[in-house]
């Protein structure tokens, strides 16, 4: 259960004065609520941070007030001058003065009784707003604040500016934020005092106060000490949670799996290339994990063409040598079939029996696969999400591989793992190079192996930017290459044209290229059924089609060694990681390979940087780091699609240095206090609750 002292933070926002059903509806739109939370809470208001401040500290006399600036003035109300009856366009004016001069307060479409209540004749009021000159007169139109001298404390001299939504005023939100701030309890400090002193950071509650009730405009600026303090709190909670999940997983008794190497030797002998050093290193790390008495959970990171599938096959073969079974799961049918085609000849060379299970296998064919799997006749099963289904039963699953891990959630990983007796060892793979900072924040529960070399014989891919104005010249060059036996991918971002988009449509481009190049131009897009997709892909792989016009369905899993030209139309609309993945479809054979980035002018600065990066390097890890800088953490990993954690205070791209410190701190904490039972450990448990690290909390409660 959540500690009672934190209950005020998780109370519904409607307990606050002035927050009724209508405001709650607006807050739901304005606040970034975490997944599963449907009603705004106090904590959600506190994490809704200001983006700037309005400085109302200037308190000049009327005579010294500067037009065009925001000022707070103490004035006496002299006279009301309502507009003539029936003239709704004329303003309502209120004459005021101090000892140095006159100031008119101006209201448009104002309700007379409201203005009279706010500004009683003969009384003094503080008014705050923008000073303007109208003819010879100074005026303030629609003052932001009007307060009586005794309520002077209600006037925010440094007013935070928050992201809003239609119908929600800054004044209403500020009032709610101030009330939320009053509910923050005094909590025991979870950070080391020496670390706080070194960084000059305030306490947790003081950091929140200085953001929502700033003493200085600098408190709300990017990189301010209050913001850094809270960002570090969130990063530490993230790293602690991932560490707890990882240690919990390791603590579960696994199953040592050791092979004798006889089948692996046959596969290595059948390979058309030698294993790279990084493949050998990764295999050694995986085998060490498999042979240990705890469950294995490892991420295999490898750039396009680095040979992950071979490493996965050799690791799966270790399980078969030990008398057990292995499985490989891919996110799409195209990718699953591609893996099956890659693995089949090598599996045959070693005498392994392989099965394929996707959504397409139905009826008798599916029943037969399931029967062979349950009996143990199938050594390695390759498939899609179909592997999760309840009736998929292994005789003895000891090793499972998940490809393109970021497309699956943690619960899916666990579902496949649970099909093994006592829990299968798990290897997850990705061809999306993941920057180090994101590895720590999103994959901190996994050990990591990296493939950093390409297999011998891979040629560099010549990458060039070309304006769409020169498309006919490009097509002429493509035509010449086709005459020499080349094959071409032509990628378009949309399936068909629409009135609202100027993007090249795959169907239109297909028609155009067919007209110019003659036959041999195929079309592949996500709207086609699986049979049509496979037939088109097979025709291209066999060389019956010379040009394949496609949407991004060919991004992963397509292997046609003879294809040596990749044209990406409207390349400026793609992210760096996606451009890199698409480029990786060529450069797999003996021909000189090219990637042509067709762009439409004018280019934004970000697009220019992206395309220049593609021209300058093929290193996926460098590209991933650049992508992180240009786009931020969530988008690089497809966080919105996959449900990965998004930070509420600490943008992963902006706090790399703090993240490293949090990573090291979490490791030291869990090494010395694994169950968080020390004084600091108890305080850190509060931190995990505050940042809602549910999985880690659940594991603690279960312990």
Burial of 391 (0-12, 13-18, 19+ CB in 10 A): exposed
Phi-psi region of 10 (alpha: psi -120 to 50; beta: other; left: phi over 0): alpha
Instruction: Enumerate domains of the chain plus CATH numbers.
Output: 1-53+164-184 (no CATH), 57-155 (2.40.50.140), 186-251+652-703 (no CATH), 262-451 (3.40.50.300), 461-617 (3.40.50.300)
**E-assigned strands of 475-555?**
487-491, 521-524, 547-550
pLDDT over threshold 90, residue 107: yes
Report the SS3 class of residue 565.
strand
Exposure string of 195-220, with b = 16+ CB inside 10 Å and e = fewer, is ebeeeebbebeebbbbbbbbeeeebb
pLDDT over threshold 70, residue 456: no
Of 206 and 637, which is predicted with more confidence? 206
Q: Which long-range contacts (CB under 8 A, 24 or more apart) does 370-373 make?
A: 373/325
Task: Give the residue from 439, 441, 461, 442 showing the smallest Cα distance to 450.
Answer: 439
Reported as a pLDDT band with limits 50, 70 and 90, residue 688 is: very high
Question: What are the φ and ψ backbone dihedral angles of 282, each rounded to 5 degrees?
Answer: -60, -45
- pLDDT tens-digit profile of 158-193? 999 999 999 999 999 999 999 999 999 999 999 999
Exposure string of 87-119, with b = 16+ CB inside 10 Å and e = fewer, is eeeebbbbbbebeeebbbbbbeebeeeebbebb
pLDDT over threshold 60, residue 653: no
- pLDDT tens-digit profile of 388-446? 788 899 999 999 998 875 555 555 556 666 677 767 888 988 877 676 666 766 666 67
Q: pTM, whole model, 2 decimals?
A: 0.69
**How many Å is the Cα radius of gyration of the chain?**
32
Residue 502's pLDDT is 46
Q: Could you tell me the end-to-end alpha-carbon distance of the chain, in angstroms, rounded to an integer?
A: 14
CA distance 505 to 498: 9
Among all chains, which residue has been given the structure tokens 């509420």? 648
Q: For residue 469, what are its two tokens?
A: 């104005």
Residue 428's pLDDT is 87
Judging by DSSP bridges, how do beta strands 380-383 and 354-357 pair with one another? parallel
Reported as a pLDDT band with limits 50, 70 and 90, residue 296 is: confident
For residue 546, give Cα distances in angstroms to 481, 483, 506, 646. Answer: 10, 10, 16, 43
Angle at which helices 308-321 and 277-291 cross, to 10°: 30
- pLDDT tens-digit profile of 257-284? 999 999 999 999 999 888 999 999 999 9
CA distance 401 to 397: 11
DSSP type of residue 150: G
**CB of 548 closer than 8 Å to CB of 489:** yes
Task: Give the residue from 162, 164, 161, 169 showing the smallest Cα distance to 29.
Answer: 164
Cα atoms in the Cβ-side hemisphere of radius 13 Å centred on 50: 28
CA distance 83 to 109: 9
Cα atoms in the Cβ-side hemisphere of radius 13 Å centred on 633: 23
CA distance 432 to 50: 34
Burial of 500 (0-12, 13-18, 19+ CB in 10 A): exposed
Q: What is the mean pLDDT of the chain?
A: 87
Q: CB neighbours of 82 closer than 8 A, spacing ≥ 6?
A: 92, 112
- pLDDT tens-digit profile of 344-394? 999 999 999 999 998 888 889 999 999 999 999 999 999 988 887 888 999
DSSP string covering 535-559, please? HHHHHHHTTS-SEEEE-GGGSSS--
Exposure string of 626-659, with b = 16+ CB inside 10 Å and e = fewer, is bbbebbbbbbbbbbeeeebbebbbbebbbbeebb
For residue 183, give Cα distances in angstroms to 164, 205, 373, 401, 693. Answer: 22, 10, 58, 48, 21
- pLDDT tens-digit profile of 54-90? 999 999 999 999 999 999 999 999 999 999 888 888 9
Q: CB neighbours of 701 closer than 8 A, spacing ≥ 6?
A: none
Bridge partners for 76 per DSSP: 97, 124
Say what percent of the chain tops pLDDT 70.
89
Residue 670's pLDDT is 94
pLDDT over threshold 70, residue 631: no
Q: CB neighbours of 75 closer than 8 A, spacing ≥ 6?
A: 62, 96, 97, 98, 103, 124, 125, 127
Say what percent of the chain tops pLDDT 90.
59
SS3 string, 256-301, reads CCCCCCHHHHHHHHHCCCCCCHHHHHHHHHHHHHHHCCECCEEEEE
Among all chains, which residue has been given the structure tokens 């100027």? 502
Q: CB neighbours of 560 closer than 8 A, spacing ≥ 6?
A: 487, 540, 541, 585, 588
Bridge partners for 103 per DSSP: 96, 138
- H/E run at residue 79: strand 70-81
How much helix, strand and coil, in percent to the nearest 5, is found in the chain?
Answer: 45, 20, 35
Phi-psi region of 237 (alpha: psi -120 to 50; beta: other; left: phi over 0): alpha
Q: For residue 182, what are its two tokens?
A: 């009053």
């Amino acid at each position: 259960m959540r500690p009672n002292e934190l209950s005020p933070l998780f109370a519904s926002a409607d307990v606050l004065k002035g927050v009724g059903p209508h405001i709650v509806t607006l807050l739901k739109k304005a606040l970034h609520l975490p997944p599963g939370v449907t009603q705004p809470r106090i904590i959600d208001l506190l994490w809704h941070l200001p983006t700037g401040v309005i400085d109302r500290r200037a308190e000049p006399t009327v005579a010294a007030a500067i037009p065009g600036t925001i000022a707070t003035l103490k004035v006496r109300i002299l006279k009301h001058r309502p507009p003539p009856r029936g003239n709704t366009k004329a303003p309502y004016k209120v004459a005021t003065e101090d000892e140095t001069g006159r100031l008119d307060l101006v209201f448009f479409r104002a309700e007379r009784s409201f203005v009279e209540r706010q500004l009683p004749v003969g009384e003094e009021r503080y008014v705050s707003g923008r000073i303007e000159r109208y003819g010879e007169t100074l005026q303030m139109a629609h003052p932001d604040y009007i307060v009586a001298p005794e309520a002077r404390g209600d006037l925010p001299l440094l007013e935070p500016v928050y992201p809003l939504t239609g119908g929600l005023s800054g004044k209403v939100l500020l009032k709610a934020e101030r009330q939320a701030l009053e509910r923050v309890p005094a909590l025991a400090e979870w950070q080391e005092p020496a670390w706080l002193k070194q960084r000059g950071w305030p306490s947790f509650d003081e950091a929140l106060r200085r953001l929502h009730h700033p003493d200085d405009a600098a408190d709300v600026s990017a990189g301010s000490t209050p913001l850094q303090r809270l960002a570090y709190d969130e990063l530490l909670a993230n790293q602690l949670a991932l560490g707890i999940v990882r240690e919990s997983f390791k603590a579960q008794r696994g199953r040592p799996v050791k092979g004798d190497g006889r089948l692996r030797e046959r596969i290595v002998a059948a390979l058309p290339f030698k294993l790279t050093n990084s493949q050998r290193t990764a295999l050694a790390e995986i085998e060490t994990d498999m042979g240990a008495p705890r469950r294995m959970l490892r991420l295999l990171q490898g750039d396009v063409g680095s040979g992950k599938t071979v490493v996965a096959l050799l690791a799966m073969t270790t399980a078969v040598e030990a008398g057990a079974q292995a499985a490989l799961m891919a996110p799409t049918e195209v990718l699953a079939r591609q893996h099956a085609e890659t693995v089949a000849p090598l599996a045959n060379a070693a005498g392994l029996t392989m099965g394929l299970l996707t959504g397409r296998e139905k009826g008798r064919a599916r029943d037969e696969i399931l029967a062979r799997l349950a009996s143990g006749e199938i050594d390695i099963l390759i498939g899609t999400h179909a592997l999760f289904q309840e009736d998929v039963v292994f005789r003895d699953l000891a090793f499972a591989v998940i490809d393109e891990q970021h497309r699956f959630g943690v619960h899916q990983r666990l579902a496949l793992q649970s099909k093994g007796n006592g829990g299968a060892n798990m290897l997850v793979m990705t061809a999306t190079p993941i920057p180090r900072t994101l590895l720590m924040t999103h994959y901190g529960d996994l050990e990591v192996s990296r493939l950093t070399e390409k297999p011998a014989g891979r040629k560099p891919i010549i990458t060039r930017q070309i304006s769409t104005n020169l498309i006919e010249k490009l097509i002429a060059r493509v035509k010449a290459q086709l005459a020499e036996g080349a094959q071409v991918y032509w990628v378009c971002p949309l399936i068909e044209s629409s009135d609202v988009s100027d993007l090249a449509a795959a169907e239109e481009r297909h028609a155009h290229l067919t007209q110019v190049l003659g036959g041999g131009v195929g079309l592949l897009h996500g709207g086609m059924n699986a049979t049509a997709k496979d037939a088109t892909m097979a025709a291209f792989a066999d060389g019956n089609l010379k040009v394949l016009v496609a949407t991004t369905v060919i991004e992963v899993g397509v292997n046609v060694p003879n294809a040596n030209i990749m044209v990406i139309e409207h390349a400026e609309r793609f992210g760096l990681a996606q451009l890199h993945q698409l480029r990786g479809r060529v450069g797999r054979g003996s021909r000189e390979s090219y990637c042509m980035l067709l762009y439409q002018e004018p280019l934004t600065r970000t697009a220019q940087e992206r395309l220049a990066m593609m021209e300058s390097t093929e290193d996926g890890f460098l590209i991933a780091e650049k992508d992180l800088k240009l786009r931020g953490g969530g988008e690089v990993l497809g966080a919105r699609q996959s449900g990965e954690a998004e930070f509420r205070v600490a943008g992963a791209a902006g706090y790399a240095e703090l993240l490293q410190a949090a990573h090291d701190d979490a490791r030291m904490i869990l090494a010395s206090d694994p169950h968080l039972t020390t004084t600091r450990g108890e305080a850190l448990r509060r931190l995990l609750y505050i940042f809602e690290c549910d999985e880690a909390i659940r594991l603690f409660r279960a312990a």
